[in-house]
């Protein structure tokens, strides 16, 4: 064979060896789960859902005159409307919601409290323009009476006594308040008063205040107290007659601002805080919470809050998510994963679904309907890993928006004590790709072989001609 022919044969041999090595490497590492749609639309994550609706234009939204406010969906955690809702401001007597919340969590309503000398001294320091019940040193009064006084009458001395009874001093009680605020997710709250003293370091935000009120109305009997029209405190050892408490909240006490969905709240006022209000309203199993800070008028805050509630109930829809919705999709995914693992030494060791209970979107979007989807496009299985976790997104898809509402978590492990015979399981699409590649490679090899044969044939013909020519010359 000529030198040219030898070079071709050597190159072909090297090419075949390189292709064989690449094939062995590529088939041994990771396989993607190629089933399921690859979404082209962006997905609204759980963190983004909190403020996503604020990025949309909502026609006819109420014009709230206060410095800052929020309308919060307690079911889903979404902020529906708001202005400076994360800016710290003085809450005034809305502070009492936290005090009463802790009292109902930590104390029995029938407990009797004796007003100590330290409590009396602290109450004396409350300025005369702050509302008081008129508690006296040595007076014995129930926790229940103090709680109703703090909510209905906004009695500052009653709220202070509750705090000191729970913690010893007001400062120590404020530590409990701040710890509780952090526990329920408040990040911009610092309490330095048990009753709402006007001071720059007793601050919260509309968002944090919504979380605090939501905790009170959902996990305690705060609603029952806040909706009580009148309450009577029996005579005590220091007060010979009954004391009548009338609810000062106009959602309860007036027809002008009476609001049937109202389930609890608190008002407040100081010269520096202005008029404040927080309230929760419930309709058709949906709970909305509105908070208004630094309003200029005591009545406008009620009207603005009612407008916010009505707009929230009509413009937005809170959708409940159930496990059963995703059951068929999860079952299908499990079958495909089981098939993928069937010829490997891997198995699914654990599986669970983490699903949000509610999402909130616009009513118009919800009316058009939605579909559910499991996004398997990014799921990868490493056949060599001893243990791996797949976190597969669960989505609710509307016509113009996709929400991430949960995760299918699958734990995969290697089987103990099993000799690995075939470490890979190839999906149908992977098999098709390999067949096509193999066909293309073989076609290329066949073409190269034909070329080599043609070159070899041309070389034989040339050699024969040269031999014929040499014989002729010899003759």
User: Is 103 found in the same domain as 18?
Assistant: no
Q: Tell whether 44 and 110 lie within a shared domain.
A: no
pLDDT mean over 231-258: 97
Cα dihedral value 391, 392, 396, 400, nearest 10 = 100
Reply yes or no on whether the pLDDT at 329 is more than 80: yes
Assess whether 365 and 468 both reside in one domain: no
CATH of the domain at 123: 3.40.710.10
Q: Are residues 219 and 309 in the same domain?
A: yes
Residue-wise pLDDT tens digits, 203-231: 999 999 999 999 999 999 999 999 999 99
In a domain, 422, yes or no: no
Residues 308 and 327 in one domain: no
Query: Same domain for 468 and 359?
Result: no
Look at residues 414, 435, 450 and tell me which one is the last residue of a structural domain.
414
> Structural domain tally of the chain?
3
pLDDT, greater one: 464 or 334: 334
pLDDT at residue 325 greater than cutoff 60: yes
- Are residues 149 and 204 both part of a single domain? yes
C-beta atoms surrounding 180 within 10 Å = 18
For residue range 22-40, what is the model confidence (pLDDT) as tens digits? 443 333 334 444 444 444 4
Flag whether 303 is in a domain. Answer: yes
275 & 246 share domain = yes
Q: What pLDDT does 471 receive? A: 66
In this prediction, residue 418 carries a pLDDT of 53
Q: Is residue 291 part of a domain?
A: yes
Per the structure block, which two tokens stand in for 110?
Answer: 């029938």
Which pLDDT does position 472 carry in this prediction? 59
The reply to whether 420 falls in a domain is no
Distances in whole angstroms, Cα of residue 386 to Cα of each of 24, 383, 416, 438: 21, 8, 10, 31
Residue 206 token pair: 């509309």
444-471: pLDDT as tens digits: 778 888 788 888 788 788 877 777 666 6
Specify the pTM: 0.80
The CATH number of the domain holding residue 389 is 3.10.129
Among the residue ranges 30-44, 68-82, 418-432, the one predicted with the least confidence is 418-432
Q: Which residue has the tokens 């010893």?
A: 168
Does 419 map to a domain? no
Q: What percent of the chain has pLDDT over 70?
A: 85
Residue-wise pLDDT tens digits, 147-180:
999 999 999 999 999 999 999 999 999 999 999 9
Residue 74 confidence (pLDDT) above 50: yes
For residues 474 and 338, what is the distance between their CA atoms, to the nearest angstrom? 80
Q: In terms of domains, do 110 and 247 share one?
A: yes
Clarify whether residues 136 and 238 are in a common domain: yes
Residue 421 forms part of a structural domain:
no
Of the two residues 210 and 419, the one the predictor is more confident about is 210
Closest among 53, 36, 47 to 404, alpha carbons compared? 47
In terms of residue numbers, what domain contains 370? 33-49+321-414
CA-to-CA distance for 251 and 399, rounded, in angstroms? 39
Q: Do the domain assignments include residue 253?
A: yes
Same domain, 304 and 326: no
Residues 231 and 369 in one domain: no
Nearest to 318 by CA among 81, 73, 111, 10: 73
For residue 224, the SS3 value is helix
Is residue 117 pLDDT above 80, yes or no? Answer: yes
d(CA 464, CA 48): 82
């Amino acid at each position: 064979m000529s030198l040219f022919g030898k070079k071709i044969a050597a190159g072909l041999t090297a090419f075949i060896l390189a292709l064989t090595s690449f094939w062995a490497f590529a088939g041994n590492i990771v396989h993607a789960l190629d089933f399921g749609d690859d979404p082209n639309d962006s997905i609204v994550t759980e963190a983004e859902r909190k403020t996503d609706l604020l990025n949309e234009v909502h026609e006819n939204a109420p014009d709230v005159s206060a410095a800052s406010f929020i309308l919060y969906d307690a079911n889903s955690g979404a902020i529906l409307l708001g202005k400076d809702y994360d800016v710290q401001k003085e809450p005034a007597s809305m502070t009492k919601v936290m005090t009463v919340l802790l009292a109902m969590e930590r104390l029995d309503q029938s407990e009797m409290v004796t007003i100590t000398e330290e409590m009396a001294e602290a109450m004396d320091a409350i300025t005369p323009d702050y509302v008081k019940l008129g508690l006296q040193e040595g007076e014995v009064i129930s926790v229940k009476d103090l709680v109703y006084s703090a909510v209905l009458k906004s009695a500052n001395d009653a709220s202070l006594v509750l705090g000191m009874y729970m913690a010893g001093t007001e400062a120590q009680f404020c530590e409990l308040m701040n710890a509780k605020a952090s526990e329920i997710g408040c990040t911009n709250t610092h309490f330095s008063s048990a009753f709402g003293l006007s001071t720059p370091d007793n601050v919260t935000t509309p968002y944090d205040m919504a979380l605090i009120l939501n905790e009170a109305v959902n996990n305690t009997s705060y609603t029952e107290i806040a909706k009580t029209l009148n309450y009577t405190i029996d005579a005590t050892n220091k007060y010979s007659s009954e004391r009548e408490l009338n609810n000062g909240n106009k959602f309860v006490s007036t027809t002008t601002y009476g609001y049937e969905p109202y389930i609890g709240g608190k008002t407040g006022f100081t010269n520096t805080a202005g008029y404040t209000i927080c309230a929760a309203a419930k309709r058709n199993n949906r709970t909305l919470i509105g908070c208004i800070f630094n309003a200029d008028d005591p009545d406008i805050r009620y009207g603005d809050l009612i407008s916010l509630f009505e707009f929230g109930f009509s413009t937005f829809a809170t959708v409940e998510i159930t496990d059963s919705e995703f059951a068929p999709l999860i079952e299908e995914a499990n079958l495909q994963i089981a098939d993928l693992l069937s010829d490997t030494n891997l198995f699914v060791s654990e599986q669970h679904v983490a699903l949000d209970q509610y999402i909130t979107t616009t009513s118009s979007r919800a009316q058009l309907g939605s579909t559910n989807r499991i996004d398997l496009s990014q799921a990868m299985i490493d056949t060599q890993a001893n243990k791996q976790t797949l976190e597969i997104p669960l989505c609710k898809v509307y016509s113009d928006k996709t929400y991430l509402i949960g995760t299918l978590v699958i734990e995969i492990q290697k089987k103990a004590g099993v000799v690995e015979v075939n470490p890979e399981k190839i999906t149908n699409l992977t098999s098709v790709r390999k067949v096509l590649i193999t066909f293309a490679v073989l076609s290329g090899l066949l073409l190269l072989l034909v070329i080599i044969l043609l070159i070899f044939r041309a070389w034989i013909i040339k050699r024969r001609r040269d031999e014929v020519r040499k014989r002729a010359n010899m003759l």
